[in-house]
Amino acid sequence: MKTVLITGGARGIGAATARLFAKEGYRVLINYEKSHEAAKALCEEIGCEAFSFDVSDREAVIAFKDELCRRGISVDVLINNAGISLFGLFQYVNPKDADRMYSVNLFGTLNCIRAFLPDMVSKKSGVIINLSSVWGDVGASCEVDYSTAKAAIIGLTKALSKEVGFSGVRVNCLAPGVIDTDMNANLTVNDVEEIVNSVPLERLGKAEDVAAAALFLASDNASYITGQVLCIDGGWKG
């Protein structure tokens, strides 16, 4: 049985991904920081294991990795999904809020990869899937810092895939468009209508759409795919 670790796995895209991987027979580990009740409910629903720590805390990530080692658990698929949003005019964004966003979205991803990559290289097998965003490619007004962090995730994916491909480790990236999750709960009815009207498939994305793409990239069906960015945006970006 393969083991998948999904950061930010208690809600939204992470929870949908956990459900799908559990259905497909994976041993599912999820990380969360504050969503204790959601994590508990998900574990009861699908039989996964939940671990509470902040991915931006490198020592906490290492401690978690060491705990898994003591239990003889090896991660075959790492899905770096943990992330927070940041909205506002660039010159007025609170620097502390920006630092926090970068710490979770970018450095949290780096921390987890640095912790689990060595075992994958040693085994000559492993899959890393990073969550970016269409904004990481095209940029978004009033989400400059967020777009910057997500662009860095794309660069990380492409560079790392070239470095570890010879070790049998594949690294790919998912770039969702506007997905109907709590992260986009601030959108008004008019905002949603405007977005839907601009999406060729004429709907918002679902967390399950992203989960299905992650499952494909983790599978043997994607064994010759690495260093790629797969957009799940209904054709919005074009």
pLDDT (0 to 100) of residue 166 = 97
CA atoms within 13 A on the CB side of 97: 15
Confirm whether 101 is domain-assigned. Answer: yes
Catalytic residue among 26, 32, 102, 146: 146
237 falls within a domain: no
> Which residue segment(s) compose the domain that 214 sits in?
3-179+206-231
What confidence score (pLDDT) does residue 122 get?
Answer: 98
Q: Does residue 70 belong to any structural domain of this protein? A: yes
The DSSP result for 101-156, as a single string, is HHIIIIIHHHHHHHHHHHHHHHHT-EEEEEE--THHHH--TT-HHHHHHHHHHHHH
Residue 194 located in a structural domain: no
188 φ, ψ to 5°? -85, 170
99-120 pLDDT, tens digit each: 999 999 999 999 999 999 999 9
Give kind and range of the element (H or E) at residue 44: helix 36-46
CB 22 within 8 A of CB 47: yes
Q: Number of structural domains, the chain?
A: 1
Tokens 């964004």 locate to 93
Residue 189 has pLDDT above 80, yes or no: no
pLDDT of the residue at 236: 87
Q: What's the chain's average pLDDT?
A: 95
How much is the pLDDT for 184?
64
Q: Is residue 220 part of a domain?
A: yes
pLDDT digit string, tens, across residues 27-69: 999 999 999 999 999 999 999 999 999 999 999 999 999 999 9
- Does the pLDDT value for residue 212 go beyond 80? yes
Q: What pTM was estimated for this model as a whole?
A: 0.95
8-state DSSP, 104: I
Indicate if the pLDDT at residue 192 is higher than 90. Answer: no
The pLDDT value recorded for residue 194 is 80
Task: Tell me, yes or no, if 146 is annotated catalytic.
Answer: yes
Is residue 195 one of the residues assigned to a domain? no
pLDDT at 227: 98
